[in-house]
Structure 1
Amino acid sequence: MADASKSRPAVEGVASADRALTVLSAFRKGDRALSLAELAARTGLVKSTIMRLAVSLEAHGYLARTEDGEYRLDAEVLRLGTIYTQSFRMEAHVMPVLEELVARTGETAAFYVRRGEQRLCLFRADSPHLLRMHVRVGDALPLDNSAIAQVLRAFSPRPLPAYVAALDLPIVTMGATDPHTGAIAMPVFGPGEALAGALSLSAPVSRWTPEVVAAARPVLAEAAATLTRRLGGEMPERPRAAAE
């Protein structure tokens, strides 16, 4: 994997910016608003510091104060999130592939990208089954031992030849993140063999019988190859496809 010191300028960050971003990152899925005490508990910052940071964040549209004196995310966060999604210009290519995977397998299909030491669900098409994974678009999960995380680690920022040669693609894991769920994942590439993201199928482990997994792996491998072509990429030196 590339040495981060060679790709980043040798400068220090700004402490105040770090603290402001820590406040924004304290918000989690389902939060409508957070009290000052909750922000302090989640960030480890003292209340007086949070209040000062909140003044600037409110001025720039990232936070808003409720009538109860709590804080909520404001419109600027949504604007940047929309720009982030649109900047990839991939939705028109990715979503048809996800929908076709759901139609062919009956399971949830998703496309993840790496964000630091997390995996971000960028696009998703739900299984018609009532019992299914409930990760939502925009959710960030750790780079754990799941199939999706393994793909993102192995091929980002560039494929690691020795490690990749040992992989049996698509990668299959059962119960890696949650004991009740399993996933199958395959890398997707853009121009220059750069990793575009991880294409995955997920389902409760009760539906991932050996026969179902064996049938789904070549379907996912085919979909990843199709999406790679549509994004102007090509698979790197023979990543191994699913066993016949």
Structure 2
Amino acid sequence: MTTRQFGDITLEQVDEYVWELEKHGEMNVPARVFASEELLEQIGDDKTLSQLRNATHLPGIANYALCMPDGHQGYGFPVGGVGATDVETGCISPGSVGYDINCGVRMVRTDLSYEDVQGREQELVDALFDGVPSGLGGGGVVETSKGEVERILEEGVKWALEKGYAVPEDLTHCEDEGFRPEADASAVSQKAKDRGKNQVGSLGSGNHFLEVQRVTDVFRGTWPTPTG
């Protein structure tokens, strides 16, 4: 059985690309890392694994505390970390959700082939930079009023579909079809609405990015079934 040691953390390989930190001490659940040997070396190079272990102590956390292949050191909970907590006994952890609450990830498949892009990468990057607003206060794809911001907050992707910024498939490809029926825009401060109304559709700033990738290999591992 293959094990890897990173400081005081021992990982045991339980599948080709799955490594487990056994539950011990005051850990509430075990932890698992989804990574190849090469990625594991990078993940173990900072505080990612100790932060993952810390996450297993969260109240109400269910099996397992997880680290995805992009895991790296965050603020208390590793970036690329995943955890679920019980609705009754669990907690809401800003470090897990992300301090820029509601930041998310979306993968979009294009109709471009590698041959279309090869040798024109810089041209593509420049076109994306010109077409996608970004940066702190850098503006958005549309300027809105207070009322429109409130519609966006409550209707989510449905608003984007109505305005031509989405396609019907976006509803099915987003969690909860891109909105929550209990959303209440009145619970959001006027200051936040004023900051956001001119940045609708902006990529934002900080740890927000847009990248173009090519899929060369597909790996399939064993995903754990959450319990607890």
TM bracket, shorter-chain basis: under 0.3
Q: Identify the structure with the greater helix proportion.
A: 1
TM-score normalised by L of structure 2: 0.23
